[in-house]
Amino acid sequence: MDWKNQVILITGGTGSFGKKFTQTLLAEKQPKKIIIFSRDELKQHEMQVGGFNHPSLRYFIGDIRDRERLVRAMHGVDVVVHAAALKQVPACEYNPMEAIKTNIMGTANVVEAALDAGVEKVMTISTDKAVSPANLYGATKLAAEKLTIQSNAYAGGSATKFSCVRYGNVVGSRGSVVPLFLKQRESGAVTITDERMTRFWLSLEQGVKFVIDCIEQMEGGEVFVPKIPSTKVVDLAKAIVPNAKINIIGIRPGEKLHEMLISEDEARNTVERGNMYVVKPPEPLWKRDMNYEGNPLPEGFHYSSDNNSEWLDIDGVKKFVAPFEELFKQGKLEG
């Protein structure tokens, strides 16, 4: 894939992922143009004055709920990375229709606009919460995944290819527990909902590089899942606030003890490929020569944060969190 000739559009481009993805593309791939598509003019302004003023960058004000604006923004675009979403679990629970309008209907608009504009590739960013969802946010992301994957049928086996990337918690990203624990460090006490809780973790850099890698190899119809470590949330708290007093406040509605990236049912259609798993479409309803290479998984396999073969201990967590310590001191870490 020759990135230098590509025009890239990123929905939700002013978010944590969007900014790091843009920064990485400019430094390593030098695409012809990158379009930042988002609805917040202040965040776009802050992004521009904060150093994202490269001549290849364009800023489009727009909402993924507005299909016509998406069609206009995607004119001449080769690759769409769909990262826009309402992602705060409590906010989605309290505002269910807003979550549905953005995460489901917004994704449908991205799909239709990409088809109409003749975009070559669309990659939707998903989450482990989409697997066996226990909250509305996860349910909307599950629907967004299904919309993305099955829209390969609308493409008629030609033109636009649709795939997803699904991964766990991103250390230090907007909404991450890391900024919360850093703030609580001043008091010497941290709050945890349940001491048994585990989560998948990866850095923002890992997430971005994984997405780039998957865009390069996608054939359309895959859900790409990285192999990433798990950690106990208690260990995360101890790494950030040594000798902390831990207050157990009880699991919240819609929260899981352990997250899952591949369910046992999905595993039947999943192959292992190097540093990732590739969930194949169970029944491709489109005509396209596809070669989802990889090794099949054993019967009964599932990939959850509590049965992971790779774990981060407290020292490992400290290495993950270290880059955010200075950002927090400077007041630049987004909570």
- Could you tell me which residues are beta bridge partners of residue 167? 127
Share above pLDDT 90 across residues of the chain, in percent, rounded to a whole number: 72
pLDDT tens-digit readout, 82-132: 999 999 998 999 999 999 999 999 999 999 999 999 999 999 999 999 999
Give yes or no: 129 in active site.
yes
129, 141, 227, 256: which is the annotated catalytic residue? 129
Contacts 24+ apart (CB under 8 A), 140-147: 140/85, 140/86, 140/92, 140/99, 140/100, 140/103, 140/104, 141/85, 141/103, 143/103, 143/104, 143/107, 144/85, 144/103, 144/104, 144/107, 145/223, 147/104, 147/107, 147/108, 147/111
Q: What is the pLDDT of residues 22-40, one digit of tens each?
A: 999 999 999 999 999 999 9
Is 158 a residue whose pLDDT tops 80?
Answer: no
Averaged pLDDT score across all residues of the chain: 92
Q: Which domain holds residue 84?
A: 3-168+201-227+260-304
Q: Is residue 183 part of a domain?
A: no
> Does the residue 294 lie in any domain?
yes
> 83 in a domain, yes or no?
yes
H/E segment holding residue 58: strand 57-61
Residue 236 lies in a domain: no
Q: Please report whether residue 233 resides in a domain.
A: no
The pLDDT, as a whole number, for residue 131 is 97
- Structurally, how many domains does the chain consist of? 1
Residue 130 lies in a domain: yes
Residue 213 has a CB neighbour count (10 Å cut-off) of 16
In the predicted structure, residue 334 carries a pLDDT above the cut 70: no
Structure tokens at 255: 């929260």
Q: Report the alpha-carbon angle 283-289-293, nearest 5.
A: 75
CATH of the domain at 132: 3.40.50.720
3-state secondary structure of 258: coil
Task: Compare 154 and 61 and report the one with higher pLDDT.
Answer: 61
